[in-house]
């Protein structure tokens, strides 16, 4: 059984500013304290009425290469690193005020968000978290890409990820297993940066996306490795994939106690797994009540 802990929010507001990778728009992200049980939610400060967008599975909409949340009134995108930082540092309740739809790309990692949250500090709240306990395996995907959640190996979330794009890829096969606790998240996952191949970057630029982004703002791989940049870890790519999983799993709205195993999974499959997990938990709760 996991050890119970109180819910957490920020001790004070704190901001991060930057530019969206694909839109090129400047944006301010302000993390604000929120009351017990409020969860994590975005507020579009730039729109009339400041519409709220819950950071939960029901808000997720399918998109390529990023996680997008939407309501009838507004949307936010590239939210995975923001949510990973909050979930990784165990911030359960937080209002996230933003001045644009796209979150800042920064250096392609969650490090700046983590630094800001650490500067603000956390405060305990007068309620316990209610984690999602994984009781049976659930799987999404096919033979080429998949993600699965299994009963826990310990008392918290752990993630195992295998990355393999084939023998011709400049990104070699990588494998990582880690517990997701604040100390490990800060040191081992938060600094890992977004990556893509040179031909993928060129294709995005041809579509008018990310023309202002330079190789020192993320990892762009050519045939011989990163272009104009150096790796922070030998296995930085798989670490970043695990970072993305943490951010996408945050859409469950509560801590997950289970072991996640993934092979080449991306945002879409990660989001599908969260939806299946929440559905399974509802069905399990209903069967318990009717027993």
> 107 a known binding residue?
no
Q: Which of 8, 259, 267, 284 is catalytic?
A: 267
C-alpha to C-alpha distance for 49 and 187, rounded to whole angstroms? 39
Whether 148 and 261 have beta carbons less than 8 Å apart is answered as: yes
212 is in an annotated binding site: no
Of 163, 179, 177, the C-alpha closest to 256 is 179
C-alpha torsion 216→189→170→231, nearest 10? 50
Structure-token pair, residue 245: 């999983």
267 as an active site residue: the answer is yes
Q: Is 135 exposed, middle or buried (0-12, 13-18, 19+ CB in 10 A)?
A: middle
Does the annotation place 284 within a ligand binding site? Answer: no
Alpha-carbon gap, residue 23 to 270, rounded angstroms: 24
| Residues designated catalytic | 267
Binding-site entries: 81, 240, 244
Binding-site entries for Zn(2+): 81, 240, 244
């Amino acid at each position: 059984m996991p050890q119970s802990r109180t819910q957490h929010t920020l001790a004070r507001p704190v901001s991060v500013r930057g530019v969206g990778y694909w839109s090129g728009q400047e944006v301010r992200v302000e993390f604000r304290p929120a009351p017990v049980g409020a969860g994590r939610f975005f507020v579009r400060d730039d729109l009339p009425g400041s519409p709220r967008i819950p950071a939960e599975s029901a808000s997720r909409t399918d998109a390529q290469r990023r996680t997008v949340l939407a309501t009838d009134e507004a949307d936010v995108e590239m939210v995975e690193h923001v949510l990973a930082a909050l979930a990784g540092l165990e911030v359960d309740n937080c209002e996230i005020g933003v001045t644009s739809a796209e979150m800042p790309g920064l250096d392609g990692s969650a490090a700046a968000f983590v630094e800001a949250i650490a500067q603000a500090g956390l405060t305990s709240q007068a309620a316990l978290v209610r984690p999602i306990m994984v009781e049976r395996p659930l799987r999404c995907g096919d033979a080429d890409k998949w993600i699965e959640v299994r009963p826990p190996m310990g008392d918290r979330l752990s993630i195992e990820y295998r990355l393999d794009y084939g023998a011709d890829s400049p990104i070699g096969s990588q494998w990582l297993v880690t517990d997701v606790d604040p100390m490990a998240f800060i040191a081992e996952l938060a600094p890992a940066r977004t990556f893509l191949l040179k031909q993928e970057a060129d294709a995005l630029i041809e579509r008018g996306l990310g023309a202002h982004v330079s190789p020192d703002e993320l990892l762009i791989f050519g045939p011989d490795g990163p272009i104009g940049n150096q790796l922070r870890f030998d296995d930085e790519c798989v670490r970043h994939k695990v970072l993305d999983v943490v951010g996408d799993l945050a859409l469950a709205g509560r801590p997950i106690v289970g072991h996640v195993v993934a092979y080449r999974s991306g945002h879409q499959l990660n989001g599908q797994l969260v939806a299946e997990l929440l559905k399974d938990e509802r069905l399990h709760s209903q069967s318990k009540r009717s027993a």
